[in-house]
């Protein structure tokens, strides 16, 4: 949970509120008043406060530039959830087919993770990550102009399970070309 909040705080640096998919919003609305869930919501105003930061490290500046194109972040998570698998399945079913494309699926002995994207005019405008299994559930949505490579770097720096796995996409694309 600390990783989720830390990642949210890092992204606070530059993301803001933007109307994301209706299905995702309705899922958040359904559980927002349930105090067994942890929630993080970052508005555009908060992220806008950090866009003028000057960083000496070129990689950090690139990440900051990528984050500045984001419009919002929402995280809904539940620990010690006896119904983690049910929540995972419910979240997967709520995404309308045709509006979201599955980007990646990661499964290990403890949990499953799925990444979906929504594109408009050839650009990714929303990334949704759904993770569940064991006794943990998490739904994360990032919206705006999304650069998966930069999101992966942020996830890796913050040691956030799932987002650092986006780096695998680069390897998978290379394998498919060969």
Per-10-residue mean pLDDT for the chain, 178 residues long? 49 36 83 91 73 70 72 90 92 88 88 90 88 92 80 62 58 46
| pLDDT at res. 31 | 92
Distances (CA, A) of 144 to 31, 32, 66, 78, 175: 23, 22, 10, 25, 29
| pLDDT at res. 165 | 59
SS3 67: helix
Nearest residue to 43 via CA among 18, 16, 20, 67: 16
Pair 122, 115: CB distance under 8 Å: no
Kindly state the tokens that stand for 103.
Answer: 């980007």
Distance CA 19, CA 63 (A): 23
Enclosing H/E stretch for 127: strand 123-133
Residue 16 lies in domain: 2-177
The model carries a pTM of 0.72
Block residue for tokens 């979201």 = 100
Q: What DSSP string describes 22-73?
A: HHHHHHHHHHTT-TTSEEEEE-HHHHHTTTT---SSHHHHHHHHHHTTEEEE
Distance CA 133, CA 110 (A): 6
- Total structural domains in the chain? 1
| pLDDT at res. 78 | 94
| pLDDT at res. 146 | 80
| pLDDT at res. 139 | 94
| pLDDT at res. 21 | 63
């Amino acid at each position: 949970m600390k990783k989720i909040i830390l990642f949210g705080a890092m992204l606070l640096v530059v993301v803001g509120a933007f109307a994301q998919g209706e299905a995702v919003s309705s899922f958040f609305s359904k559980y927002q008043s349930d105090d067994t869930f942890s929630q993080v919501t970052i508005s555009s105003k908060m992220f806008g406060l950090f866009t003028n930061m000057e960083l000496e490290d070129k990689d950090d500046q690139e990440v900051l530039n990528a984050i500045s194109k984001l419009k919002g972040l929402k995280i809904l998570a539940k620990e010690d959830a006896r119904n983690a698998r049910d929540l995972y399945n419910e979240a997967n079913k709520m995404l309308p087919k045709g509006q979201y494309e599955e980007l990646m699926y990661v499964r290990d002995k403890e949990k499953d993770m799925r990444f979906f994207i929504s594109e408009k005019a050839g650009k990714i405008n929303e990334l949704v990550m759904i993770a569940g299994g064991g006794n943990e559930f998490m739904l994360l949505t990032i919206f705006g102009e999304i650069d998966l490579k930069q999101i992966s770097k942020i996830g890796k720096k913050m040691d956030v399970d799932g987002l650092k796995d986006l780096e695998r996409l680069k390897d998978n694309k290379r394998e498919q070309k060969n």
